[in-house]
Structure 1
Amino acid sequence: MALDQPLTIGPLQVSPGVLLAPMEDVSDLPFRRICRELGADIVYTEFVNAEGLLREDPTGPRRSYHKLDFHESERPLGMQIYGASELSMEEATRIAADRGPDLIDINCGCWVSNVALRGAGAGLLRDLPQMRQVVRRVRGATHLPVTVKTRLGWDADSIQIVDVARMLQDEGIAALTVHCRTRAQGHKGTPDYSWIPKIKQAVTIPVILNGDVTSAQTAAAAFQDTGCDGVMIGREAIRHPWVFREVQHFLPTGSHLPEPTLAERVTLCQRHLDYAIEQHGERYGLISLRRHFAGYFRGMRGAAALRQEMSQEKDLPRLRARLEQLIGEADLVVV
């Protein structure tokens, strides 16, 4: 793909195609809003368990339904669902599609044991006929574009990603995201980007690269070296959410943006806090922000102590006051 070509997924067109990965307990509504504001072209919900969605008591907490909440400013938005049964995935697709996302994504890549060993996520890589049935049922349940996120294979001895890509294209998916590791690797080892050009030669649908895209330079290299149609950023977005802004600037210019200032870091953290309280309420909003303090305060003098202080604060007015105070503390400048 040439960088001057948009990433096209059904009726959606974005450019250059820098996406936020779906991440459990991370890519909730407040964080997705932050990443969209910083330049993510498409964002995805946390993955939603199809069986859980169907089992939930309408009068209870409805955690799975809550994951489908979104703000209009997030668009374009994908909702990711996972499951081993084509029937539950079909019904879950209808429920998710009724919420009004821009696309539905099928998780065929989650490597954790309690998902993959039950035949869902990357477990479908060990049962390609079942993967086909799941995709076919999901496609038939919605008019929205359907995409798939998967891995190279179950392990190094069973990499079938080129054949998988052909099969998924035959079933009508609109785009394919490939995490360039096997299920056995999890997040360990080096992703093998060499498979992306092979996939691109085999299919005409957009192919999105995922795995260790950690900077503007690695994103640019991924586009240039593999011909991918987009890149998806996961863990680096937690560590440094400004990565989207930096990639968007670097790709057309070849120049780097300066590191975010102390004031920019604190202001973004304050905005994230506001979004979290709005969405989750005070108690869980404060809890949900804890995993992000490391990213907001990374590089500051005394960052570890500051993260601990912020994470232990349970009083919202005190936390707001402390964040405001930080802006004027010159000794905390980013180093």
Structure 2
Amino acid sequence: MAGHTNHAFRRLCRELGGCGLVCTELISSKALQHRSSRTRALDAFDWSPEERPLAVQLFGNEAAEMAEAARIVVDRGAQLVDINMGCWVPKVARKGGGAGMLRDLSMAVPVIRAVVAAVPVPVTVKIRSGLTRHGITAVEFARAAEAEGVRGIAVHARTADQGFAGAADWSVVRQVKEAVSVPVLGNGDVSDAAEARQMFDETGCDAVMIGRAALGNPWIFRQVHHELATGERLPRPSRAERAAVALRHARLTRETSPLRERQALMELRGQLSRYALDLPGSREIRDRLVRLESYGELEELLAAVNQCTTLSVGGWMARISCCSRRV
């Protein structure tokens, strides 16, 4: 979830409730070894007390480097270290990191062993079903990881060559759960409480990990937790609440982002546009978002959306257009 699960978004999810554990964006172990990129890498792991417990996700394929990276982030307050063996993005996987580690168990095991030995906090791994649909290796890797002392295994139920395409095969999560004794987290195609319950029922997993479904929808954790606990479905957030939370997201970003304003806005635009997906005039809102140049302009636009949500679609759109032209 690079570019998304930053300090601001993690705090927002915590404030809205229901999320048992938040995780940083994936951080390169190599970047932590070089002063030129170390500060930026550690900025991705900036945190506040409200986020506890906090997991830090590392990627890399060199055992000593990963062990040192784990020590660095634990010294900075990480309460759990997660080894990413699931990222399919070519610039990560082709260099042997992320899902690239699934090519060779003999490469993955020394990394896991070194990280577990290096830090006093729990170490987990996140894997995919396998590299390709013709090579499902999740059970093999999960057993090896458990033997090296990991305390939990998250399984994204797609292969690396799928990326996010096609349906997640939850049967792989069930197979991993049956093969190991450590907690197993299921991941993939869970976007509401009904799907979370279905994953629990079909796989026997110990927890459900939600990623992309939370983008523009940070209420999802509260909704899922509440419905699973009580059987009651919470109402969808009102338009006013969506606008207010988007504004809170922007303000948290302004307070916490180490990026320059323009860079931070570029990341934020993509996130905030998701809040408007089913609002009247969502296309125009997104068009305005991509042209904004400052936090001040962004706050004015979001405040206008918040004020106009009770108007008719036509009147609301006219007000947004008027406010947007002023910024």
TM-score (norm 2): 0.90
Amino acid at match of 2:136: I
Render the CA deviation track for 1:36-68: whole Å, top value 9, x for unaligned.
2222211111101111111133xx782112112
| Percent of aligned pairs with the same amino acid | 40
Say if 2:269 and 2:290, in contact at 8 Å, map to a contact too: yes
Say if 1:54 and 1:92, in contact at 8 Å, map to a contact too: yes
1:298 pairs with 265, 277, 282, which one?
277
Amino acid at match of 2:7: L
Amino acid at match of 1:31: F
Aligned to 1:53: 32
1:254 pairs with 209, 212, 231, which one?
231
Q: Distance in 1 between matches of 2:214 and 2:44?
A: 19
Q: Distance in 2 between matches of 1:158 and 1:317?
A: 51
Q: Distance in 1 between matches of 2:295 and 2:132?
A: 46
Residues 117-132 of structure 1 aligned to structure 2 (within 5 Å) = 117-132=94-109
Q: Distance in 2 between matches of 1:240 and 1:271?
A: 13
Instruction: Tell which deviates more after alignment, 131-140 or 311-320.
Output: 311-320
1:214 pairs with 183, 191, 199, which one?
191
Say if 1:105 and 1:148, in contact at 8 Å, map to a contact too: yes
Residues 248-287 of structure 1 aligned to structure 2 (within 5 Å) = 248-280=225-257, 282-287=261-266
Paired positions, count? 309
2:110 pairs with 125, 128, 133, which one?
133
**Equivalent residue of 1:79, what SS?**
strand
The alignment yields a C-alpha RMSD, in angstroms, of 1.6
Aligned to 1:65: 42
Q: Which protein has the bigger helix share?
A: 2
Render the CA deviation track for 1:70-108: whole Å, top value 9, x for unaligned.
111111110000001111111111111111011000001
**Equivalent residue of 1:184, what SS?**
helix
Say if 2:59 and 2:85, in contact at 8 Å, map to a contact too: yes
Aligned to 1:182: 159
Alpha-carbon distance, 1:326 to partner? 2.0
**Equivalent residue of 1:194, what SS?**
helix
Say if 1:50 and 1:88, in contact at 8 Å, map to a contact too: yes
1:164 pairs with 135, 141, 144, which one?
141
**Equivalent residue of 1:312, what SS?**
coil
Q: Distance in 2 between matches of 1:328 and 1:157?
A: 53
Q: Distance in 1 between matches of 2:38 and 2:29?
A: 16
Aligned to 1:242: 219
Can you give the 5+ residue segments of structure 1 that lack an aligned partner in the other structure? 1-22
Amino acid at match of 1:25: G
Render the CA deviation track for 1:140-185: whole Å, top value 9, x for unaligned.
1100100000111111222121121111111110100000011111
Aligned to 1:29: 7
Aligned to 1:325: 304
Q: Distance in 2 between matches of 1:61 and 1:224?
A: 43
Ranges of 4+ aligned residues in structure 1 off by more than 4 Å:
none
Q: Distance in 2 between matches of 1:109 and 1:196?
A: 14
Q: Distance in 2 between matches of 1:168 and 1:299?
A: 42
Aligned to 1:12: none
Aligned to 2:325: none
Residues 137-152 of structure 1 aligned to structure 2 (within 5 Å) = 137-152=114-129
Alpha-carbon distance, 1:123 to partner? 1.1
Say if 1:279 and 1:285, in contact at 8 Å, map to a contact too: no
Aligned to 2:57: 80
Render the CA deviation track for 1:217-257: whole Å, top value 9, x for unaligned.
11111112211111111111114222111101110222321
**Equivalent residue of 1:73, what SS?**
helix
Instruction: Tell which deviates more after alignment, 23-32 or 287-296.
Output: 287-296
Say if 2:32 and 2:38, in contact at 8 Å, map to a contact too: no
Q: Distance in 2 between matches of 1:169 and 1:325?
A: 52
Amino acid at match of 2:6: D
Say if 1:165 and 1:199, in contact at 8 Å, map to a contact too: yes
Instruction: Tell which deviates more after alignment, 221-230 or 32-41.
Output: 32-41
**Equivalent residue of 1:80, what SS?**
strand
Q: Distance in 2 between matches of 1:116 and 1:284?
A: 25
Q: Distance in 2 between matches of 1:92 and 1:37?
A: 29
Q: Distance in 2 between matches of 1:270 and 1:27?
A: 17
Amino acid at match of 1:258: P
